[in-house]
Amino acid sequence: MRGSKDKKKFHKKFGGSRNMSEALLLSLIHKLEIAETAETYKMNMEWLVKEMREIVDIVKDKKLKEERSLNFLVSDLVDVADDAIDLFKNHIHMSSASIHNSMGEIKKQMLKLEDGESNMTSSENVDDNYVVGLEGDVEFLIRKRIIGRGGISLYYYFVKTLLIKGMSGIGKTTLAREIYNHASVIQHFDTRAWVSDSTSMKELLIKLIQQVEDPHTSSLLENMDNQSLRDMIRQHLRGKRFLIILDDLPKKMPLKSLMNAFPQQDDGSRVLLTSHTTPIDIEVFSENVYKMEPLDSKKSWQLFLKTINHGNRLMGEHQFPMDLEHMGKQMLRKCGGLPLAIKVVGKQLAEKKLSGGSEWEQLLESVDFGPILKLLEPFYLQLDPERQLCFMCMAFFKENTTLRKEKLTQIWVAGGVLQSSEDQCEKYLEDLVNESVIDVNDKGTKYRMNVVLHMLSIQKAEEKLGFEILRNNGNNRPSESPRHHRVIICSRDKFNYSTDQDKHLVSLFFHGGGYLDTSPSYWKSFEQLKILDLEDFGLKFLPETICTLMELRYLGLRNNYIKELPESLGCLEKLEVLDIAQNFMLELPDVIWELHSLRHLYMSNLIYRKPLKIDTLQDLETLTYVSVDNWTYELSDLVMLTELWRLGIEEVDENSDVSKLFASLAEMYCLKHLILRGYRFRSMPCLDELRILYGLKTLKLDGLLARLPTSFPPELESLTLINSCLDEDPMPLLGEKLPELKYLKLRNAYTGQQMVILGDGFPGLEKLCIEELWNLRNVRYVKNAMGNWLMKLEIHDCPYLDTLPEEIVSMTNLRELKMVTTKSIATKMKNSHLTSKIATANINPMS
């Protein structure tokens, strides 16, 4: 099987020595070269032969310190090469990402051995004696996924694979341990095994065999090839119901190869993975992925008290005083709900109290987060270089802030930090979410980084990006060494600035609030500045000297008090992003239409002295917002806006010519996202013609509606209704007309008392959010409604909705309920048997 006999011969001849590794590799190269002579395989094999020869040089010529680990990696390499040959023989093109990734990962691990590097340790295994807030997670996973029959198995193997996912230190290992040692789990499975800290497939297979079969056969197993090890596991597990937990796997571990070690038997066996990322070479369905969230403030405090009082020998008067609870909770905010950080801080404080006897107030003010960042550093180091750059750029933004997708990607591109397109940067952003580095909202438009990781991003950016943070208090000055990126944190006092020139600065961010009372020389110093961001700064005017920033690509002026823009703005010929939204009654200068490099323009509530000339900006991709009358009557050459894919139209009322509007939008084949905003308290007109926008994916309607459109764009995946104030229940019509819908949000959209979801409506809906439905008293679900795919339900500010439907119990995929309501209803809901079945039920009273 796959060259197994040849491999066994080599093992017999060379034993466990380096000669065996070299011989196996040379034999594989010979086989690959034979395959390479075939014209069909030639171009696909050249890179593989080249990589193998480089690895032979590493094995042969370098002084490697870990002979045993080397042999394990060589065995893994044999697997990869044989897989590649199998692909060629079956005429499968050598574009398989798993082959490339596996080869690269093995080579990287060998180079680490060459340098004598030790394997990175997991930050999950830091004092797991104290557990808080996991009861619901444990109960849900055991009932619905481990012992229950829910979830989906893959067609090529019957063993269902589950994944516990989340950032480093969030408690994945702790949760898996609670499941593994649960009495019902022990009783349910014939065989259990726990494997962790494996850097190679062979090491993982050996550890697995030692757990399920014989713990004393290490030397014998090391002389076997990987295929024989898989055969042994399969033979032992056949006919047994088993639970295998693979803890903290390396992200590029070839799991598809491992899955072949398990017998194909549909008996309820389970494989449970814990990882910060989703495996790359097997498909794990979303309903089989359990994403862990940080602890809320209440659970964080409970874990802190457990750690500091009961785990560190603090007795009597030395225990943490409850009158400092507020101060302690303020300190804990910097832990971001991360159990690892809370435990490290609690242990640190207890040790200081025991050794020095300092006052608790002093100890809380002197907490050192350095040890926590050191533990999280491997989480950063495992990222690819491009993702590391993206990670460090998060230091530019305020701690714990929510960031728009477009702002992130535009700044990465404009600053030249990444030499990539915005589309490629969006892929990097998706990767950071998949790697659990940042969190994203359900619509995939807003991102947030945990505050502890944000601290780490600042540390790394200062080390590697030429980044610095200055405070407007007169106590610091710019660094003497060249800086490329700078954040200035201001108070409400007069802005103080340095007269030192900094010709190397590429990006400049202002945080806090104040005003810019600067001389022209200040702006002239930034000859290479590409990014200037003053969002939320409280700016009242922009100086004429802005024209000196000739290299500027990104200008962020959102949410300020600016009344007019200088005419000199037209000199910024390289400007690609201009964000002037949320500056009330801002006068737009006529020169803006001279910015022909502009690709993204964000504006709202503007004053126009002259007609708009947006159609002159032929590279424009994003435009929000423009008046419906400006769009339909002033713009004559809209056909030139061939790149526009996101559009916001405002001031839509009953007098608007929406037929003309929709006819023009139907000609814009790139348009995927549309926002229609009403005008003050006037009702929007009939919107039935929305149906002609065939390619539209997301739609937001913000304003009064007499009734819903009778039909919608057929491919619509996301719908938001805000301030619609409909008299008729919208759910029956929406459920019937929107079969592709995944996300639905209703905010102040319905004035009735009862909401009904009928029949097979919303077969693919994953999230439902209802907010500010002030009269709603009852929500009723009918059997099979929402297809049981609903995973998240949010209810905010519905003060008369005091119960949930009984049918919610049958929604097998519903994992999360978020509810903000009155104090009495919150208490009632928390005690309800319905919410007790939901893994994460955050029910809080209105503030």
Task: For residue range 237-281, list pLDDT tens digits in order.
Answer: 999 999 999 998 877 777 878 888 898 887 889 999 999 988 776
The backbone torsions φ and ψ at residue 539, rounded to the nearest 5 degrees and listed phi first, read: -70, 140
The pLDDT-based confidence of 532 (bands split at 50, 70, 90) is very high
Sign of the torsion formed by the C-alpha atoms of 823, 824, 828 and 831: positive
At 15 the pLDDT is 38
CA–CA dist 419, 426 (Å, integer): 13
CA–CA dist 829, 727 (Å, integer): 27
Give the lowest-confidence range in 305-319, 398-412, 639-653, 718-732. 305-319
Give the lowest-confidence range in 32-41, 61-70, 236-245, 428-437. 32-41
CA–CA dist 81, 439 (Å, integer): 37
Task: For residue range 734-757, list pLDDT tens digits in order.
Answer: 988 998 999 999 999 999 999 998
Q: What's the one-letter identity of residue 767?
A: K
Are 738 and 712 a contacting pair, CB within 8 Å? yes
Asked whether residue 67 carries a pLDDT value surpassing 90, the answer given is no
Are 473 and 491 a contacting pair, CB within 8 Å? yes
At 309 the pLDDT is 80
Q: Averaging pLDDT over each range in 219-233, 305-319, 550-564, which range is the top one?
A: 550-564
Q: b or e along 668-705 (b: 16 or more beta carbons within 10 Å of the residue's beta carbon)?
A: beebbbbbbbbbeeeebbebebbbebeebbbbbbbbbb
The pLDDT-based confidence of 289 (bands split at 50, 70, 90) is confident
The pLDDT-based confidence of 90 (bands split at 50, 70, 90) is low
| pLDDT, mean over the chain | 82
At 120 the pLDDT is 46
∠ CA 754-757-761, nearest 5°, is: 160
Q: What's the one-letter identity of residue 49?
A: V
Could you write out the DSSP letters of every residue in 418-429? S-S-HHHHHHHH
The pLDDT-based confidence of 375 (bands split at 50, 70, 90) is very high
Give the lowest-confidence range in 119-128, 225-234, 411-420. 119-128
∠ CA 56-60-61, nearest 5°, is: 115
Neighbours of 173 (CB within 10 A): 23
Q: What's the one-letter identity of residue 517?
A: D
Helices and strands counted in the chain (H then E): 26, 31
Task: For residue range 242-252, list pLDDT tens digits in order.
Answer: 999 999 887 77
At 372 the pLDDT is 96
